[in-house]
Structure formats: C-alpha cells, structure tokens
C-alpha cells in the first residue's frame, strides 16, 4: 500500500476530529471553550499528515491474511494510527414510536505508545453520543448530540487491554461514559451508560448472532489501488434499557449494530466523501453497504449481506446500485441526499431508504449526518430499519 493515502472518508472524518482534539490538547484549548472562526478554520484545514508525522516511529500497515482473535481484538491496537468502536441502535418505546442512538469511541495515535503513560502520551481519545427521539416527545428537544475529548495515558479514557479483557471483561470509557461487558472472554452481554446533555441513557445489550468479518476475512479494501482497513462488525445485537430526562422515563428496546475498524492511512485527494448504510431487514438478514465518492467519477462500492444463518455474502461494485433520489435542506442550510434507492439486482432486492427526521446532524468538530432510517422494499422483498451516515458534503458555515 502506498504512503499516507486513504483509508476511507469515514476514517478521514474520525481522524480529523481526533486531530482537532489533539490540537486542543497541545495548545491548551478547552473543547468547551468558544473558538474564533479563524481558529476553527485553521484547525479544520490543517494538514493531518503533517500534524501527526513522527519520523522516529513507523505506523503499522494493513495487509491481507491477518488472523483475528477474540476477545483480544476487541481491545485497542497500538501501532496503528486510527481506530474506533461504533455503536448505533434502532429502538421502540412502549407506544411503538421510533428512537435512535449512537455511541462511539475513537482513538488516534501520534507515535510510539509503548513507553509513555502520562500527559505526554501520544494517544488522543474522542467520544460522540447522540439520541434521536420521536418528533412528538415534548420532554426532549429533538435530535441531541454531545462530544468529549481526553488525552491518553492518564486514565480519563481508554479501552481494556487483552489481558484485562480475559480476566475482567471488556471496558471502553471516556469520563463517565462507559461500555462494559458483563463477563470476561466475551464482549456481550454488556451494559452501556452515557449522557447527552441532561438526558441519562442506560442500556443492556446481548448478542443474537455471530461476529461478521467484513471484506476478505476482515481485510476490507477501500479502493482499486488496494487501500484497506481491518474491519469487523457485530450486526446481531438486541438492546433494551431506558432514557431518563427530568421527570420522564422512556423504556426502549430494539436492534443494535457495532462496527470495529482500525488502520494507519488517510483519505486520498480524489476521494470526496462517504455514504454508509447498515440495515436490519425484516427477514433477519443484515445489510451493510458503503460508497466512497470519487471526484473523478470512479466511486468505490462495497458491502455485505449476512443471512439469518450467519453466512456472509460479500458485495462489490457489480452487486450494488446506489442512487440519490433527492436532497433535503436542513435548518442549518446544508443540503444532503437523505432519500436513496439501494438495489442488489443479482438478488432481486431493492429499497428506498429515507428518514422521517432530517435534522439528525452531528454538528461536531467535523460535521456529518448520522441517523436512523427506514428501508421500504421496491417489490415484494423485506423492508428494514437501520442507520445511515453521510460525510464529505458541503460544510456548515
């Protein structure tokens, strides 16, 4: 694989936001302190390959043929530059109304992590959380989100080591946001506790199906040139719990999806953005599709269809047709394609994918849209629910 070119727009988004956290840590800027427009512009347009280069340390490359080991690979992977633990969930309350949530922990490394366990640690952590309630819940102000930052090496944020996972179970945390397995040697069952503003969220998760290695046995190609990440998913998760705000408590249950990915590469200059879909189909199958948008018109599509039996069918450009049907202008002025037609012609499957709430925008350090969607079949196939992420579109002024 060539020098610091891509991995994916998803990686660019994650990394760029982590880079922002790094610059805050290095300059003493608080993530909650207001920044001038000049500071914000400078941070977002800083060259990440220059900002994170450590000539004394060479990050590991992603190569095919890796053997995954669990529960060890639930832990962080020192030596790689970027990594995340990414959970989304589609839920219903007792009135059968639709809710959505996102909880994500990101890590980035600036160099050799082996000998530094203090404020000088080269590891930066960032977490995102979001809650998308039904539009008619008066106790909540619509889509809510929050972001947090931490420096590595001081215990404020982190992920359990492989040895700790084997002995005590898995934990991932930043401040009081905590994802914790209930037993050692297995990621699930697990509990998830976090807050978004004044809203308290407490959930339990259990696995209802196996881990899925995306791509070629976990080696996920992101371009014809061979850029790649290590990528596995836990798309078969049941989730239940509660959302508490002021004097209101909402009991929720539904389906969740956990993505795990890590690499050391960046987005290539001719790649403009990312469209990602993760769908729970009504017949028990799981579908993941993404498109890397290329400024030269050479988009890269990939994905997987997981049968209810656990069998995984990998999808490539020839298997997927993805068409944006129309754009929607959000309240912040940005126009996004929130209505899509997604087809797998060879399997005679197709859906229109859309959202009832266009305002699920993550106006974080690097903004992006991520929210719950519905998939309606084009013919007699199964419908579904899930999450969609859109990156690389026009920035908010």
> Using CA of residue 331, residue 273, residue 105, residue 125, what is the dihedral sign?
negative
270-274, 362-366, 369-373: which has the minimum mean pLDDT?
270-274
Q: What is the pLDDT of residue 387?
A: 99
**Can you list the pairs that 13-16 forms with residues at least 24 positions away whose Cβ atoms lie under 8 Å?**
13/274, 13/366, 13/368, 13/391, 13/392, 14/82, 14/84, 14/106, 14/108, 15/48, 15/81, 15/82, 15/108, 15/266, 16/44, 16/48, 16/365, 16/366
Q: Indicate if the pLDDT at residue 262 is higher than 50.
A: yes
Confidence of residue 128 (pLDDT cuts 50, 70, 90): very high
Burial of 123 (C-beta count, 10 Å sphere; 0-12/13-18/19+): buried
Determine contact, residues 101/35, Cβ cutoff 8 Å.
no
The Cα 372–Cα 369 span in angstroms is: 10
> Using CA of residue 159, residue 109, residue 103, residue 24, what is the dihedral sign?
positive
Confidence of residue 227 (pLDDT cuts 50, 70, 90): confident
pLDDT, one tens digit per residue, over 167-217 is 999 999 999 999 999 988 899 999 999 999 999 999 999 999 999 999 999
Q: What is the pLDDT of residue 12?
A: 44
77-81, 181-185, 295-299, 332-336: which has the minimum mean pLDDT?
295-299
Determine contact, residues 336/390, Cβ cutoff 8 Å.
yes
Q: What is the pLDDT of residue 5?
A: 29
Which comes out higher in pLDDT, residue 182 or 117?
Answer: 182
Determine contact, residues 171/181, Cβ cutoff 8 Å.
yes
Q: What is the pLDDT of residue 185?
A: 87
Question: Which CATH number describes the domain made up of 9-391?
Answer: 2.40.370.10
Q: Which helix (H) or strand (E) holds 278?
A: strand 271-281
Radius of gyration of the chain (CA): 20
pLDDT, one tens digit per residue, over 19-67 is 544 444 433 433 332 333 333 333 223 333 333 445 567 889 999 999 9
The Cα 185–Cα 178 span in angstroms is: 18
Domain boundaries, the chain: 9-391
Confidence of residue 257 (pLDDT cuts 50, 70, 90): very high
Q: What is the pLDDT of residue 42?
A: 31
Degrees to nearest 5, angle at CA 330 with 329 and 335: 40
Distance in angstroms between the alpha carbons of the first and the last residue of the chain: 36
71-80, 116-125, 173-182, 271-280: which has the minimum mean pLDDT?
116-125
The Cα 83–Cα 108 span in angstroms is: 7
Determine contact, residues 330/361, Cβ cutoff 8 Å.
yes
Which comes out higher in pLDDT, residue 246 or 329?
Answer: 329
Token pair for 379: 């013919």
Burial of 46 (C-beta count, 10 Å sphere; 0-12/13-18/19+): middle
């Amino acid at each position: 694989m060539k020098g610091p070119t891509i991995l994916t727009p998803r990686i660019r988004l994650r990394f760029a936001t982590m880079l922002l956290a790094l610059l805050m840590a290095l300059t003493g800027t608080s993530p909650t302190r207001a920044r001038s427009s000049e500071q914000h512009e400078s941070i977002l347009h800083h060259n990440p390959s220059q900002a994170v280069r450590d000539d004394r340390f060479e990050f590991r490359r992603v190569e095919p043929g890796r053997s995954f080991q669990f529960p060890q690979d639930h832990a962080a992977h020192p030596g790689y530059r970027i990594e995340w633990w990414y959970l989304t969930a589609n839920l219903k309350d007792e009135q059968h109304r639709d809710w959505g949530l996102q909880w994500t922990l990101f890590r980035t490394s600036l160099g050799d992590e082996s000998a530094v366990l203090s404020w000088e640690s080269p590891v930066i952590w960032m977490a995102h959380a979001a809650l998308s309630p039904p539009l008619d819940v008066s106790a909540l102000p619509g889509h809510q989100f929050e972001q947090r930052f931490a420096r590595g090496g001081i215990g404020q944020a982190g992920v359990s080591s492989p040895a700790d996972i084997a002995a005590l179970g898995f934990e991932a945390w930043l401040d009081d946001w905590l994802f914790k397995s209930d037993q050692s040697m297995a990621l699930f069952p697990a509990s998830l506790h976090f807050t978004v503003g004044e809203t308290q969220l407490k959930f339990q998760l259990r696995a209802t199906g196996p881990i899925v290695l995306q791509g070629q046995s976990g080696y996920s190609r992101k371009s014809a040139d061979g850029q790649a990440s290590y990528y596995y998913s836990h798309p078969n998760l049941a989730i239940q719990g509660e959302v508490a705000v002021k004097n209101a408590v909402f009991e929720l249950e539904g389906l969740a999806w956990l993505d795990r990915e890590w690499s050391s590469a960046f987005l290539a200059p001719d790649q403009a953005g990312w469209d990602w879909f993760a769908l729970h189909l009504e017949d028990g199958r799981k579908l993941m599709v993404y498109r890397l948008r290329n400024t030269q018109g050479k988009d890269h599509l990939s994905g997987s269809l997981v049968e209810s039996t656990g069998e995984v069918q990998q999808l490539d450009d020839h298997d997927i047709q993805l068409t944006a049907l129309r754009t929607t202008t959000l309240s912040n002025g940005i126009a996004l394609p929130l209505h899509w037609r997604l087809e797998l012609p060879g399997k005679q499957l197709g859906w229109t994918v859309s959202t009832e709430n266009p305002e699920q925008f993550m106006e974080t350090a690097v903004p992006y849209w991520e929210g719950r969607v519905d998939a309606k079949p084009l013919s007699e196939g199964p419908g579904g629910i899930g999450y969609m992420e859109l990156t690389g579109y026009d920035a908010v002024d």
